[in-house]
Amino acid sequence: MSLRLPPYQSLPPPHGQDSLLEVGVAALQPTQMCVGLAEVRSRQVDFSQESSRERRQYLGGKPVPLVRNAAGDLWMVDRHHRLRALVEMDPQAIAFGYVVLEVATHERDVVLEALRQRGWLYLYDGRGQGPLEPQALPSSLLGLQDDPYRSLVWKLKKEGLIEPAPLIPFHEFRWGAWLRSRSLPPFSSSRLEPALPAARTLVRSQAAAHLAGWKRTN
């Protein structure tokens, strides 16, 4: 199984702290259909151990690339897991972002089409079905579905079995789509253990060598 994703236009980096906007997380609209809830829960543990000052400093160092329309509505093009974790903990949470694209319209469909043309949408649901129409995207981070395969890939990356590939769009979802095409025992984002032994073997196998982030084993 492979994801039928369009060519991807790279996101520009922020221009420094002076260019950052302070934004309410609850108002940000996502550009993907799902997250891995195992990663979300892990990030919530990390957030709970930080002071408010430490959290603000951390978020300032991880600004969110944003798309803004003529009405001032904002879509986030990255950071979905950490901000979903944060807004669940604190509905009034703020984050920092920078604008990567201005779309001179009030119409949501026009904004979504501009995002789709740039490859800035992930339109597969939590079961790997898609691509769906951009209009199916939720308007809030709290509307994102759980994709247990995205959780599984997060765990495998955390164990060092998959290398990061920050320049590859939806890198973890690509791995998740590949694992979906393999035979794994039943598992969930809250119970990854049944699938981990087989998944560890699979991601280290030669069959996965075509995927970015594959690690050669001796």
Cα separation, 194 vs 192, whole angstroms: 6
Q: pLDDT by residue for the chain (218 residues), tens digit each?
A: 567 777 788 888 888 777 899 999 999 999 999 999 999 999 999 999 999 999 999 999 999 999 999 999 999 999 999 999 999 999 999 999 999 999 999 999 999 999 999 999 999 999 999 999 999 999 999 999 999 999 999 999 999 999 998 778 889 999 999 999 999 999 999 999 999 999 999 999 999 999 999 998 76
84 and 64 inside one domain = yes
Largest CA distance in the chain: 55
pTM of the model: 0.93
In terms of Cα–Cα distance, which of 137, 98, 139 is closest to 120? 137
The boundaries of the domain holding residue 198 are 148-208
Specify which residues 161 forms β-bridges with: none
Cα separation, 59 vs 71, whole angstroms: 25
53 and 130 inside one domain = yes
Look at residues 124, 146, 168 and tell me which one is the last residue of a structural domain. Answer: 146
Q: How many domains does the chain have?
A: 2
- With respect to residue 188, please indicate whether it lies within any of the assigned structural domains: yes
* Residue 163: burial class (beta carbons within 10 Å; 0-12, 13-18, 19+): exposed
86 and 191 inside one domain = no
67 and 162 inside one domain = no
Look at residues 116, 146, 176 and tell me which one is the last residue of a structural domain. Answer: 146
- With respect to residue 70, please indicate whether it lies within any of the assigned structural domains: yes
140 and 179 inside one domain = no
135 and 172 inside one domain = no
Cα separation, 25 vs 93, whole angstroms: 6
Are 111 and 75 in contact by the 8 Å Cβ rule? The answer is yes
